[in-house]
Structure 1
Amino acid sequence: MWNVPNLLTLGRFMLIPVYLLVFEAGYTKTAFLVFLLAGLTDVLDGYIARKRKLVTQLGSMLDPLADKCMMIAVILSLVFSGMITWGAALAIFLRDAGMIVGSAIFHFRGKLTVPANSLGKLTTVLFYIAILLVIFRLPYAHAYLWFVVAVSFLASIIYIVQFNLLNKRKSKSNVPL
């Protein structure tokens, strides 16, 4: 249960207050580096878990939770500092909340879930780029952020379609002849 990938995930949880303290102290670029470090630990823990067959139920639950908690901290810090609008933050939160609640409901109903797909992973990378643009106050940062929000909703729609197809196939295979 306490293997290297899970410890990296726990380390990501510990990076959240570090990020917030650094950001609040006015070191926004350094805070971005903390955020980037958290993202790298996410990639590393997933790689190690799959490569060494160390995937655990605990890790499967904590990993996305750590990601969402870090993203919430980053988005809230950007909103409260005036670097992004409440509208953008709300769109991001609604999408993430919908995915979290929907996944939990379907999981507890015994439905099959779709693993993260390449569009979902691409969306994560695009969010990192958007946050980089915002923190460094680069041109078109807000337009790009809204583009990424739109892509994230598209990724969610594709995920829902895949989820429905997967569970329809499962229910058809369980029908007695």
Structure 2
Amino acid sequence: MNVPNMLTSSRFVLIPLFLVLYLNDKPIAALCTLLVAGITDFLDGFIARRSGQVTVTGSMLDPLADKLMMLSVILALLIKSALPLLAFIVMAFRETVMIIASAIYHFRGLKTVPANLLGKATTVIYYVAITLLFLDQPGGVTVLWIGIALSFVASVIYFMKFKSLNRAS
């Protein structure tokens, strides 16, 4: 268990904390918890790459923590009627497919592709949309739909790179 993996693991602990805060009408505290999770996401990857501590465990747990956190956020937003059902369904479908596909690839011993720049930009857009939704500001749903569209483009690019990488091996 290295520092990056401990940071990743902390995100699993932050998920129920986020849910308790948000569902008990403490949106600012919940948003702060989410932002802490986002910071740990940045830091774990940065530290792992900088210090040569990239591990198979971390490579699997990091995206899982991200996707479970995002599923928790959109579920909470749906419960509080801050998110349209269709946006929830589309996002939940994509996140679930990505979790399942990653697990299948991993257990089949296939090489995976790191997140691409568009995927990282999508995450930033999601955080902007979620912040707007949490603060009950206009434009949150529109920004979220932009993020959803970009997430599918990023997924297609990721899948094409994945196929190419594993075909070449």
**TM-score if structure 1 supplies the norm length?**
0.89
Structure 2 unmatched ranges of 5 or more: none
Report 1:6-155 matches (<5 A): 6-155=5-154
Q: Structure 1: how far apart are the matches of 2:145 and 2:119?
A: 16
Deviates more, 1:48-57 or 1:98-107: 98-107
Deviation at 1:169, TM superposition (A): 2.7
Q: Structure 2: how far apart are the matches of 1:110 and 1:46?
A: 22
Deviation at 1:165, TM superposition (A): 2.2
Structure 1 unmatched ranges of 5 or more: 171-177
Residues 78-118 of structure 1 deviation map (CA, whole Å, 9 limit, x = unaligned)? 00000001110110011112222222223333332211111
How many residues get paired?
A: 169
Q: Structure 1: how far apart are the matches of 2:23 and 2:107?
A: 38
Contact 2:126 2:143 in 1 (8 A): no
Deviates more, 1:57-66 or 1:100-109: 100-109
**Identity across matched positions, percent:** 48
Q: Structure 2: how far apart are the matches of 1:52 and 1:67?
A: 22
The amino acid that maps onto 1:158 is: I
The amino acid that maps onto 1:20 is: L
Residues 25-52 of structure 1 deviation map (CA, whole Å, 9 limit, x = unaligned)? 2111221111000000111111111111
Residues 132-170 of structure 1 deviation map (CA, whole Å, 9 limit, x = unaligned)? 111112112111111111111111111112222223333
Larger Rg: 1
The amino acid that maps onto 2:35 is: L
Q: Structure 1: how far apart are the matches of 2:111 and 2:48?
A: 21
**TM-score if structure 2 supplies the norm length?**
0.93
Over aligned residue pairs, what C-alpha RMSD do you find?
A: 1.4
Q: Structure 2: how far apart are the matches of 1:15 and 1:164?
A: 34
